[in-house]
Amino acid sequence: MQDLTSGKPAKVILMFAIPLMLGNMVQQLYNISDTLIVGQTLGVNSLAAVGATGSIQFLVMGFVQGFSSGMAIITAQRYGAQNVRGVRESYAASIVAALIMSLILTVVSLVFIDNLMHAMQMPAAIYGEAKLFIGIILAGTVMTMGYNVISNALRAVGDSKAPLYYLIIGMIVNVSLELLLILKFHWGVEGAATATVFAQFVTVVISHWHITRYTDTLRLSWSDFKLKKGDLRQHMMAGLPMGFQQSIIAIGSVTLATAVNTLGTDAVAANTAASKVDQISTQLLMSVGVAMATYTAQNFGASKYDRILEGVKSSLKMSISMSFVLGAIEVIFGRILVTLFVGGGQHEVMDLAQEFFWANGPFYFILSTLFVLRYTLQGLGDVRTPTFAGMGEMVMRTITAFALVGWLGFFGASLANPLAWLGSLLFLVPAWLRMVKRLRQLIKPVAVEEELN
């Protein structure tokens, strides 16, 4: 476990973020393995079927990630305040809340899956495979929720390495089982989805084992589940806004996917393959933001407000520098990476994918700023502003996707992403400037108290 309330902020954030970066890359390999194996073994139509469900997965799984992250903020703040009993109670409340939300999400998503797919104008050629794939993934929502709750709790107490190790094991299980089910048993996209859900189950089991064996701070007894009055509500109120924030952003992605669907199967396949490459870069940038959420929460709990301001400056420098490098790599080498998904003969798909990279890569500096500010505000307990920012992102992506697709085609649809990031910053920047004033006001009485002591 790592205490983020001491040491040079830049170094502390980087050392905590590196396992997150590696973990997010592994998570993307988790997702990419479905796309890569399906694209290479089952063909472009199956690739498009899996890819066309990506925005639906984001809609549900984004809520799962946001919900669990929101609850972990409370855990991190209590850890920063050195309230060990409170940390355990927070983790127990998170588990109960997660089980309730998993049940609700699973039932609702499976009931309305046909409605959503029709609203997205899913091409008839891929509808059957797409529904089969996403249905299995959604049925395993509780596994995704379980891993996210456990991994976020570990990160809240400063352990960003264990979630990485067990995610790697899960990815190995996923790839191995996927190849077995598709190549030997010919399960098609059903095999890809089944392998993913089973691998998530494995990560839940071994992550829970790790906590019971090695992490005293999170080791629970039955008495920890005797929740105090209002504790479950507090965690729900922390998790729901962040979950809805991610889902709001995902709605914009669903709308964008709908616009892309109108351009045909090649456009859907190009968007699928390019998005997988793009997600590697965006997840690396997001890792710095996620690190800031835990860093900020721990330091806020410890009343070290000056460290928060210093940490934001360091993380912005770090993240923006990364964004320029990643953007350049994507524009220069993205076309080569796309061949991993569609092979070398799909020239139309590859040309469209390159348009995607030109529309997104040069503007990653906007996204990097968005991640740092959003997660810092969340770490400070501000769930309202990130939610409004998510709404701004959704509205901007929706309007620009349909407005530009008719004018610029696939390139116009791809431009909806950086324009959506700008829409989010319109809310985040003013809120952060207000928060800076508040933190500076809090620094003064803390400094006076330290002098008196």
Task: Give the pair of three-digit tokens for residue 118.
Answer: 């029709």
Question: Which of 226, 241, 274 lies at the terminal end of a domain, its last residue?
Answer: 226
CA distance 334 to 321: 19
Task: Determine phi and psi for 48, rounding to 5 degrees.
Answer: -65, -35
Q: Verify that 207 and 324 share a domain, yes or no.
A: no
Residue 270 included in any domain: yes
Q: pLDDT tens digits, residue range 195-211?
A: 999 999 999 999 999 99
Closest CA to 104 of 153, 67, 151: 67
Q: Is pLDDT above 90 for 177?
A: yes
Q: Is pLDDT above 50 for 443?
A: yes
Task: Give the pair of three-digit tokens for residue 405.
Answer: 């697709």
Residue 449 included in any domain: no
- Answer positive or negative: Cα dihedral of 342, 200, 98, 376: negative
Q: Is pLDDT above 70 for 445?
A: no
Q: Verify that 7 and 52 share a domain, yes or no.
A: yes
**Range ranked top by mean pLDDT from 1-10, 257-266, 268-277:** 1-10
Q: How crowded is residue 317: how many other Cβ atoms within 10 Å of its Cβ?
A: 12
Q: pLDDT tens digits, residue range 354-374?
A: 888 999 999 999 999 999 999
Q: Is pLDDT above 50 for 82?
A: yes
Q: Verify that 208 and 321 share a domain, yes or no.
A: no
Least confident of 169-173, 175-179, 277-281, 360-364: 277-281
Instruction: Cite the DSSP H helix spans in 157-188.
Output: 162-179
Task: Determine phi and psi for 188, rounding to 5 degrees.
Answer: 65, -145
pLDDT of residue 452: 47
Q: Is pLDDT above 50 for 448?
A: no
- The gap from C-alpha 142 to its chain's centroid, in whole angstroms, comes to 16
Q: pLDDT tens digits, residue range 122-151?
A: 888 889 999 999 999 999 999 999 999 999
Q: What is the mean pLDDT of the chain?
A: 88
Q: Verify that 270 and 326 share a domain, yes or no.
A: yes
Contact call for residues 288 and 321 (beta carbons, < 8 A) = no
85, with CB counted inside 10 A (0-12, 13-18, 19+), is: exposed
Q: Which amino acid is at 338?
A: V
Q: Verify that 268 and 393 share a domain, yes or no.
A: yes
pLDDT of residue 350: 85
Q: Verify that 166 and 52 share a domain, yes or no.
A: yes
CA distance 409 to 264: 11
346-382 CB burial, b ≥16 within 10 A, e <16:
beebbebbbbbbebbbbbbbbbbbbbbbbbbbbbbeb
Q: Verify that 197 and 139 share a domain, yes or no.
A: yes
pLDDT of residue 343: 62
Contact call for residues 412 and 326 (beta carbons, < 8 A) = no
Q: For residue 310, what is the enclosing H or E element?
A: helix 305-342
CA distance 171 to 195: 10
State the average pLDDT over residues 281-300.
Answer: 91
**Range ranked top by mean pLDDT from 194-203, 243-252, 338-347:** 194-203
Tally the domains of the chain.
Answer: 2
Cα distance from N-terminal residue to C-terminal residue, the chain: 29
Q: Is pLDDT above 90 for 64?
A: yes
In the chain, what is the greatest distance between 2 CA atoms, to the nearest angstrom? 73
Residue 450 included in any domain: no
Q: How crowded is residue 202: how many other Cβ atoms within 10 Å of its Cβ?
A: 18
Residue 33 included in any domain: yes
308, with CB counted inside 10 A (0-12, 13-18, 19+), is: buried
Nearby residues of 26 by Cβ (< 8 Å), 6 or more positions away: 164, 167, 168, 171
Q: Verify that 200 and 330 share a domain, yes or no.
A: no
Percent above pLDDT 70 for the chain: 94
Q: Verify that 370 and 260 share a domain, yes or no.
A: yes
Question: Which of 226, 245, 263 lies at the terminal end of a domain, its last residue?
Answer: 226
Residue 232 included in any domain: no
Q: Verify that 277 and 339 share a domain, yes or no.
A: yes
Contact call for residues 365 and 320 (beta carbons, < 8 A) = yes
Task: Give the pair of three-digit tokens for residue 453.
Answer: 């002591």
Q: Verify that 52 and 146 share a domain, yes or no.
A: yes
Task: Give the pair of three-digit tokens for residue 376.
Answer: 């810092």
Q: Verify that 221 and 277 share a domain, yes or no.
A: no
pLDDT of residue 39: 75
Domain that holds residue 186: 1-226
